[in-house]
Structure 1
């Protein structure tokens, strides 16, 4: 059950590498070539029974490191391909030790892609945020990820000018991230309030299209999921509202 407490949103210490600024230039051909080679459909498959397991793991992690670097590329296409590669990798196996050492860099990369990207890039970045929380599990590390990314996800959800698919993804993955990561009742209730505003106050303003209805349904599903970890008194209050 969530409980109130205060924590810093970021862990102390740890120097961050200089991040190359984003631009709308998609002409990074060489970088895109590297990314394409990394994201080959067979890149995460085993090469054969005789392949040394430790060497295969090192190669796997090397490719993931390459994806992490490419999320900072100037090219939107390259960033999106790198996000897809990370999504595929993090979906394939548990990588706690690898992830926990790079969680700040990964969180920063996801945050930048959510802020600077559009449409599909934001959608994949939101999915990666959820996978990051899943990899870290319930605890302080995932809660720090949630507190960093939640404001950006909420901003996209509430932005009526944003891509509808991106808004739907953010509504879905914000709910899942909150369910996994948060141990603070205020964070829980604020996330639920964001969903409530979407499927109540914005429903009539945005209703009438299939995409808008899908967004409101997704917000309602996330809200219902979070309701399952609320105190019984809060559940009664929400149902009676």
Structure 2
């Protein structure tokens, strides 16, 4: 029997305020590469040029912005491959640096290029443009313009995502971007439900063996938006036998997905089940979520799967995931995770926050730690509070010239002291 929940999520986004760390855990390397706007597609930012040992932070920032300007100009090139290279370069810079003021001044130019690529581009260019749309919202989260950009790009993203003539990979990126942009841009309930309904319709239309990856991405995108819904609405929908024209999966559909032959779908369904169960339990601690009991046997099989026809790596990943889900549903024990970044720690204490964090990892990769420390939007989402400043001694590193001057002064002082000691020794020997 499922246990009774005792924890409540603190907000729609969940999370917990970070605590100062005494250790000096460093964030990921913030060196990044931005592509040139020139037709030869050569790199226009050399990581070595941005070593803190060579130039100070101001010079580094100015150099980054100059290279970004070149890459943004390169989005209008005639060569599709060169445009894609520029999209990828800007994407890398946006993941590894938080530069909202710079992006705000160029938001319309970037938005127009994204829209043009989604409409007229193909394959890789469309995928890169869709990813950059989400990153644009991450950068502009502190500005009202983020919501405007979402509205401007929503129609073209839907049109591209639903176009079955383009590559499944590009369609998957567009569906994911629709979900991610809605998650980041204000969480209007009506708009969220609209996107969730769109995603479920696309999910049903993609039910074929050659579209498994697309279907799994759509389900994960749907689950991300589910974390924003009111627990009462989710409880009522999952308890209802009528799911026609709904934004909610039925119990039978969840069971079928858990028994899918494809690992991606099983894992995505497991995350969806955990979020649904958590929201239902938040709604009523007295309610044992009767429908979950029917799935416990399936969860136990998945958590102890030893089928030899599945790859060892897949079995290991599946068992680890479903052991956590089974323990949460049966024993009300959540596998708390601690994410250290800089001098802070983010605690993931519920499934909704875990799904949201995983989505941000997918978008920002190794740059997530940088954004957690500096990005106002992400700090608000994860309830991290105001930005925590680093200790004074490490706020600004000395430039090369400053270090040389200090070293020269120290060398001069040592030389003088040694000369004095030599003079004293000479006087002693002479006497």
Superposition TM-score, scaled by structure 1 size: 0.78
Following the alignment from structure 2 to structure 1, what is the Cα–Cα distance between the partners of residues 52 and 200?
51
8 Å Cα contact 2:187/2:228 also seen in 1 = no
SS at match of 2:195: helix
* Alignment deviations for residues 21-41 of structure 1 (CA, whole Å, 9 cap, x no partner): xxxxxxxxx9312x4132x5x
Q: How far off is 1:185 after superposition?
A: 2.3
Match of 1:229 in 2: 228
Determine whether 1:118 maps to 2:154. no
8 Å Cα contact 1:199/1:216 also seen in 2 = yes
* Alignment deviations for residues 75-119 of structure 1 (CA, whole Å, 9 cap, x no partner): 111110110110111111101110111111111111111111100
How many matched pairs? 206
Match of 2:172 in 1: 168
Following the alignment from structure 1 to structure 2, what is the Cα–Cα distance between the partners of residues 208 and 50?
53
8 Å Cα contact 2:206/2:215 also seen in 1 = yes
8 Å Cα contact 1:87/1:127 also seen in 2 = yes
1:93–1:238 Cα change, 3 Å: farther
Q: Which runs of 5+ in 1 are unaligned?
A: 3-29
Match of 2:163 in 1: 159
8 Å Cα contact 1:90/1:131 also seen in 2 = yes
1:57–1:235 Cα change, 3 Å: same
Larger radius of gyration: 2
Determine whether 1:186 maps to 2:190. yes
Following the alignment from structure 1 to structure 2, what is the Cα–Cα distance between the partners of residues 92 and 49?
19
SS at match of 2:50: coil
1:133–1:53 Cα change, 3 Å: same
8 Å Cα contact 1:176/1:222 also seen in 2 = yes
Q: How far off is 1:61 after superposition?
A: 0.2
Following the alignment from structure 2 to structure 1, what is the Cα–Cα distance between the partners of residues 231 and 48?
44
Q: Which runs of 5+ in 2 are unaligned?
A: 1-10, 13-36, 244-431
Following the alignment from structure 1 to structure 2, what is the Cα–Cα distance between the partners of residues 161 and 96?
36
Q: How far off is 1:140 after superposition?
A: 2.1
1:157–1:66 Cα change, 3 Å: same
1:88–1:45 Cα change, 3 Å: farther
8 Å Cα contact 1:139/1:181 also seen in 2 = no
Q: How far off is 1:216 after superposition?
A: 1.3
Once the two structures are overlaid, the 10-residue window that deviates more, 142-151 or 121-130, is 142-151
Superposition TM-score, scaled by structure 2 size: 0.45
> Relative CO higher for 1 or 2, CA cutoff 8 Å, sep ≥ 6?
2
Following the alignment from structure 2 to structure 1, what is the Cα–Cα distance between the partners of residues 154 and 48?
30
> What is the root-mean-square deviation in Å for CA atoms of aligned residues?
2.2
